[in-house]
Amino acid sequence: MNPLKIEFLGTGTSQGVPIIGCDCETCQSKNLKDNRLRSSVLIKSGNSSVIIDCGPDFRQQMLRSKCQRLNAVVLTHEHMDHIAGLDDVRPFNFKTKLDMPVYCTKRVENRLKEQFSYAFSDEKYPGSPGFEIINIYSNENFKIGDQRWTPILAQHGTWPVTGFRIQDFVYLTDISGISHLESEKILGSKVLVINALRKSKHVSHFSLDEAISYAKSTKVPEVYLTHASHQLGLHEEVSDSLPEGFHLAYDGLKITIQ
């Protein structure tokens, strides 16, 4: 198997960090690790380059990571901070003359057809983005290039959200709960990315304590926390407080999984 090269394109919650107009300590921090674009991750292996989620910062993220090629977009759920950047796949459409494969559940597909109706209409105006929707199901693995993907069904408040295992890498964002059965898909992996919104509880996201306690239960040795809000606190202070094997992810962080 080819090693997986992971790049965190964004590690922030829906408003990003800093938040417009906020003068809190985190939003005012001079540490670049406290600047968080909306959550997304780039996964490269062999000839495949795939992103999970395509939020409003997608264009900036592709430019910053100097991404020349993108084989597919995989979506966790339909919230705007995870889909709003899809119009900006156009440069890839123009370059390859192909529609962009978008892997998502039927529920997410329905939302995309509302949000980006112009891209799905019979009379597309010139220059519209092109999407090739490929439906995914929680009990069916799928392949993208040389990567084998396993969907993991979780809860995001009252909504469903899909996490993914690719080889020994697991990415779970925007979750507030997950069944024992779905958790079994994580067993034996080497790296887990999981959302930790803030220190206090939230109705649809794991808090820091909940994320740590869940991640410990999976026994995955290396854990990276993502989808952080400004309320989580300063990168340096939070990082220092974490148990062994836990890291607070930051934008631009790269890891390789053999």
Q: What share of the chain is helix, strand, coil (3-state, %, to 5)?
A: 30, 30, 40
CB 122 to Zn ion: min, Å: 31
Strands 4-10 and 254-257: antiparallel
Q: Does 53 bind Zn ion (CB under 5 A)?
A: no
Q: Which x/- pattern over 157-176 shows residues binding Zn ion (rule: CB under 5 A)?
A: -----------------x--
Name the nearest CA neighbour of 40 among 26, 50, 31.
50
> With CB under 5 A, what is the number of residues at the site for Zn ion?
8
Name the nearest CA neighbour of 252 among 3, 5, 11, 4.
11
Residue closer to Zn ion (CB basis): 178 or 257: 178
Name the nearest CA neighbour of 137 among 170, 108, 114, 95.
108
Residue closer to Zn ion (CB basis): 44 or 205: 205
Please list every residue from 172 through 201 that binds Zn ion, using CB under 5 A.
Answer: 174
C-alpha span between 103 and 111 (Å, rounded) = 13
Instruction: At 106, list the tokens.
Output: 């039927």
Contact 82, 53 (CB under 8 A): yes
Tell me which of 36, 44, 79, 185 binds Zn ion, using CB under 5 A.
Answer: 79
Q: Which one of 75-83, 92-100, 147-155, 243-251 is the stretch in contact with Zn ion (CB under 5 A)?
A: 75-83
Q: Does 234 bind Zn ion (CB under 5 A)?
A: no
Tell me which of 44, 165, 185, 230 binds Zn ion, using CB under 5 A.
Answer: 230
Q: Does 80 bind Zn ion (CB under 5 A)?
A: no
Cβ neighbours around 44 below 10 Å, total: 23
Please list every residue from 6 through 25 that binds Zn ion, using CB under 5 A.
Answer: 19, 22, 24
CB 201 to Zn ion: min, Å: 16
CB 119 to Zn ion: min, Å: 22
CB 39 to Zn ion: min, Å: 6
Residue where the block lists tokens 């985190």? 26
Those residues with Cβ within 8 angstroms of residue 234's Cβ, 6 or more apart along the chain or in another chain: 25, 26, 29, 31, 34
Residue closer to Zn ion (CB basis): 176 or 218: 176
C-alpha span between 203 and 66 (Å, rounded) = 36
Q: Which one of 64-72, 92-100, 116-124, 227-235 is the stretch in contact with Zn ion (CB under 5 A)?
A: 227-235
Residue closer to Zn ion (CB basis): 57 or 174: 174
Q: Does 27 bind Zn ion (CB under 5 A)?
A: yes
Residue closer to Zn ion (CB basis): 27 or 134: 27
Residue closer to Zn ion (CB basis): 35 or 65: 35
DSSP 8-state code for residue 38: B
Strands 222-226 and 169-172: unpaired
DSSP 8-state code for residue 148: E
Summarize as ranges the residues that interact with Zn ion (CB under 5 A). Answer: 19, 22, 24, 27, 79, 81, 174, 230
